[in-house]
Amino acid sequence: MSGRFDGKVAIVTGGASGIGEATVRRLHGEGATVVVADIRQEAIATLTASIASDRIVGHRVDMIDAADIEAMIAAAVDRCARLDILVNNAGIGSFGKVTDIDLAHWREVMGVDVEGVMWASRTAMPHLERSEGNIVNVASIAGIGGDYGFAAYNAAKAAVINLTRAMALDHAPRVRVNVVSPGLTRTPLATGLTENPAIMAAWTDGLPLGRPAEPAEVAAAIAFLASADASYVNGHNLVVDGGGVAHTGMPNFTRILEGASHLDGAETLVRR
Ligand SMILES: NC(=O)c1ccc[n+]([C@@H]2O[C@H](COP(=O)([O-])OP(=O)(O)OC[C@H]3O[C@@H](n4cnc5c(N)ncnc54)[C@H](O)[C@@H]3O)[C@@H](O)[C@H]2O)c1
């Protein structure tokens, strides 16, 4: 059976875990040769051994280091002779108000989450122009609005979303650039949230789908944008959050009015 990515070469940064790992599995499963690029050599080895395919290549990279990023792109092109897809997924979390964090922390978050995306995109661009390839960045719903105690992460992920739009203009028509913004996703990065019952109850209460995403559900959106199915999609921020940011923040009137007839309840709320 032919796959959407037969003959294509993809790099997935942060590919050894969570959303990155699910993306590696999805792109490989649909025919791509995939470079698993991650800072954790052991995790790369575990994943590449578990997939055990000549279309899976491991590469250690620290996305805060420009020379490392250049070596990653060069190694992929040397080994696979082309590059079609760059998934800028590697990212680190951050918690704290601006008064809680210091410059070193701010620079680390910006370095991995923003600068790494910019430098990998810049370095990959000539190869992607040659193959008429594309970039999929991974931001977050935290890049769409503000959150309590997430100052650096909010700033970093908003930067990724708008960098995506800028690159989508500058590098069209040869290279499409899109971004996926996941909501809460069950990965090692988010275990502090997903394994805390109080946080989970508060979070999922406001979520129309009532649960976090599985990594494969985010990977499916990344694969769509990376594929020819999205050949006319450029500069798009695809939110994969179970409908959370569809909400304006108004109270759940339907629930408050439960028991009253719909019409009676509505009359107490809005003048018609
Ligand atoms: N899990 C969530 O709820 C969630 C929600 C929204 C956005 N995201 C974003 O999704 C992306 C993937 O996160 P995840 O949840 O799968 O996390 P994860 O921790 O499971 O995976 C992240 C991977 O990135 C690698 N990594 C970290 N720093 C690196 C560096 N300097 N260089 C190279 N690799 C590095 C880690 O080793 C790890 O394998 C991140 O950009 C994150 O901000 C996650």
Extents of the domains making up the chain: 9-269
- C-beta 92 within 6 A of ligand 1: yes
Read off the pLDDT of each residue in 150-157 and give the average, rounded to a whole number. 98
| Residue 256 reports pLDDT greater than 90 | no
Backbone φ and ψ for 87, nearest 5 degrees, come out as -105, 105
Question: In whole angstroms, what is the distance from residue 212 CA to residue 187 CA?
Answer: 10
pLDDT tens digits for range 199-229: 999 888 889 999 999 999 999 999 999 999 9
Band (1; pLDDT cuts 50, 70, 90) = low
b/e 194-215 (16+ beta carbons within 10 angstroms → b): beeeeeeeebbeebeeeebbeb
Question: What's the CA-to-centroid distance between 254 and ligand 1, angstroms?
Answer: 36
* 12, 13, 19, best to mutate for ligand 1 pocket (most atoms within 8 Å of CB): 19
Of the candidates 175, 49, 65, the residue with the CA atom closest to the CA atom of residue 121: 175
Considering only CA atoms, which of 121, 54, 53, 61 is closest in space to residue 87?
Answer: 121
Q: Which of 12, 187, 209 to mutate to test the pocket of ligand 1 (most atoms within 8 A of CB)?
A: 187
pLDDT digit string (tens) for 66-111?
999 999 999 999 999 999 999 999 999 999 999 999 999 999 999 9
pLDDT for position 272: 59
**Which structure tokens are listed for 144?**
């769409």
Q: Exposed, middle or buried, 45 (CB in 10 Å: 0-12/13-18/19+)?
A: middle
CATH topology of domain 9-269: Rossmann fold (3.40.50)
pLDDT of residue 2: 82
Residue length of the chain: 272
User: What is the bridge-based pairing of β-strands 9-13 and 33-38?
Assistant: parallel
For residue 68, how far is its CA from the centre of ligand 1 (angstroms)? 18
**Is the CB–ligand 1 distance for residue 94 below 6 Å?**
no
How many degrees, rounded to 5, is the angle at CA 35 between CA 33 and CA 38?
160
pLDDT single digits (tens) 12-69: 999 999 999 999 999 999 999 999 999 999 999 999 999 999 999 999 999 999 999 9
Instruction: Give how far Cα 109 sits from Cα of 61, 64, 92, 151, Å.
Output: 16, 9, 6, 11
